[in-house]
A and B are shown apart, each in its own frame.
Chain A
Amino acid sequence: MSETKNPLTDEVKALIGMSADKVEASPPWGIEREGLRIFTNAIMDPDPRYWDDEFAKSTKFGGIVTPPIYCSYIGRKTLAGVEDPISRAFRENPNSDGIGGVREGGADRKGQLPSLPTPLKRILNAGNEIEVYKYPALGDHIYSQAKYHDIKGRVTKDGTAMLVVTTQTTYTNQDGEVLCILRASTIRR
């Protein structure tokens, strides 16, 4: 019986520390009220700092701001004028799960890290780490840059090979100020 090899190959190791391009995560018009309203309703947060101009001006933020990690979601939107990614995905695969095929080639492919050169395809979410430094404000333009923060390989007692992959995404505004840093760990097996 052959022994399972640690999946942390030299090719995979070479990606540790590699960064993707820094890209604008916000739409061309920046942070706007309607997107903010939809988002805060979805997290059921009625905080007037997100919608009441007069009150928001009286706070330490000096105006309307967004929830702590709002900036991490705005880059996922499909921009107007592009080929509809949902129609394309289901045309190519009528059983699409609604995620992989929809995203491939979609607006959110920009600024992505290169795929890991591994045969391990199953992906499990292992956890998240968030550091917050400043809230985005209305009109801000948000930029994101992802990198492979760390990759660890191991073989479990039952011979299952796995990689623990931690990516880090740093979000900044138009002035280069760091807004928040997200680290997401996934298990590939």
Chain B
Amino acid sequence: MVTADELRTKKQTWFDDVSVGQDMPPLVIGPLTPTHLFRWSAAIENWHRIHYDQNFAVYHDGLPNILGQGSWKQSILPRYLKDLCLPDGWPWKVQFQHRAMIVPGDTLTVWAKVTNKRVADGLGLVEMDVGMKLQTDIETCPGTATIVLPIKGGRPIPYPFVAPKEA
């Protein structure tokens, strides 16, 4: 896991420094416990019992265990992209599908691999395949993302972010 001090002092990854085919630094989370899942349910007041009531999940819904929430995964991927961009890049967009189930005991590796890079309106767009792999190497959340990294000597990335017209 990443610490607060690492995020406070993170050095910028520049557009100039990434190349197609490059693996970005992964984020490993886990092993997940029922308590992690329950904390997320309580945080967003999602009371669906399949996420914290094992009897209901197994005997009523026929699931192998309580399940990790899709909404949690939906929050982890943007969080990971944000970390990659800090301090001055921008995690512009991400799309993904929900595939394999996540259950207590699983460890997730959030990953990204650069598939393309291009400049649009003076902004450095980095396109990536992204996902969250289980310890078994099964992909739970395949998708794609576009982040914006600053170009050395280039213009600052606007905040609020303004999508490049050419993108």
B14 proximal to A (CB < 8 A): no
Report whether A69 and B49 are in contact in the complex, using a CB–CB cutoff of 8 Å.
no
Report whether A99 and B46 are in contact in the complex, using a CB–CB cutoff of 8 Å.
yes
Given the complex, which residues of A lie within 8 Å of B76, measured CB to CB?
43
Given A43-B72, A86-B47, A129-B95, A59–B87 Cβ distance below 8 Å?
yes
Given A76-B45, A132-B161, A68–B8 Cβ distance below 8 Å?
no
Report whether A129 and B94 are in contact in the complex, using a CB–CB cutoff of 8 Å.
yes
Near B by CB (< 8 A), chain A positions 11-60 give 38-39, 41-49, 52, 55, 59-60
Cα A39 to Cα B136 with chains together (Å): 28
Given the complex, which residues of A lie within 8 Å of B74, measured CB to CB?
69, 128, 130
Report whether A48 and B8 are in contact in the complex, using a CB–CB cutoff of 8 Å.
yes
Given the complex, which residues of B lie within 8 Å of A99, measured CB to CB?
46-49
Given the complex, which residues of A lie within 8 Å of B161, measured CB to CB?
132-134
Near A by CB (< 8 A), chain B positions 78-117 give 78-79, 81-83, 87-88, 90-98
Report whether B44 and A128 are in contact in the complex, using a CB–CB cutoff of 8 Å.
no
Q: Of A42, A130, A134, which contacts B39 at CB under 8 A?
A: A42
Cα A172 to Cα B76 with chains together (Å): 22
Instruction: Produce 1/0 per residue, B28-57, CB < 8 A to A.
Output: 010000000001101111111110010010
A97 proximal to B (CB < 8 A): yes
Report whether B48 and A98 are in contact in the complex, using a CB–CB cutoff of 8 Å.
yes
Given the complex, which residues of B lie within 8 Å of A120, measured CB to CB?
none
Report whether B47 and A177 are in contact in the complex, using a CB–CB cutoff of 8 Å.
no
Report whether B48 and A46 are in contact in the complex, using a CB–CB cutoff of 8 Å.
no
Question: Shortest beta-carbon distance, A63 to chain B, in Å?
Answer: 12
Report whether A77 and B45 are in contact in the complex, using a CB–CB cutoff of 8 Å.
yes
Question: Shortest beta-carbon distance, A121 to chain B, in Å?
Answer: 15
Report whether A134 and B159 are in contact in the complex, using a CB–CB cutoff of 8 Å.
yes
Given the complex, which residues of B lie within 8 Å of A44, measured CB to CB?
1, 29
Cα A55 to Cα B75 with chains together (Å): 23
Report whether B88 and A98 are in contact in the complex, using a CB–CB cutoff of 8 Å.
no
Given the complex, which residues of A lie within 8 Å of B44, measured CB to CB?
39, 42, 73, 76
Cα A43 to Cα B61 with chains together (Å): 26
In the complex, the chain A residue whose C-beta lies closest to that of B99 is A127
Question: Shortest beta-carbon distance, B126 to chain A, in Å?
Answer: 15
Given the complex, which residues of B lie within 8 Å of A77, measured CB to CB?
45
Report whether A131 and B93 are in contact in the complex, using a CB–CB cutoff of 8 Å.
yes
Near B by CB (< 8 A), chain A positions 100-159 give 102, 125-134
Residue from B56, B75, B93 whose CB has the most chain A CB atoms within 10 Å: B75
Report whether A41 and B75 are in contact in the complex, using a CB–CB cutoff of 8 Å.
no
Given A61-B159, A133-B160, A125–B47 Cβ distance below 8 Å?
no
List of 8 A-B pairs having minimum Cβ-Cβ separation, nearest first = A134-B160, A42-B43, A129-B95, A68-B78, A127-B97, A46-B4, A99-B48, A98-B49
Q: What residues of chain B have their CB less than 8 Å away from a CB belonging to chain A? A: 1-4, 7-8, 29, 39-40, 42-50, 53, 56, 60-61, 70-72, 74-76, 78-79, 81-83, 87-88, 90-98, 143, 159-163
Contacts A73-B43, A127-B97, A129-B95 aside, 12 further interface pairs with beta carbons under 8 A come to A41-B43, A42-B43, A43-B79, A46-B3, A46-B4, A48-B8, A69-B75, A97-B56, A128-B70, A128-B74, A130-B94, A132-B90
Instruction: Please name 7 pairs of A and B residues whose Cβ atoms are closer than 8 Å in the assembled complex, sorted by A.
Output: A38-B42, A47-B4, A48-B7, A60-B88, A67-B78, A130-B78, A183-B95
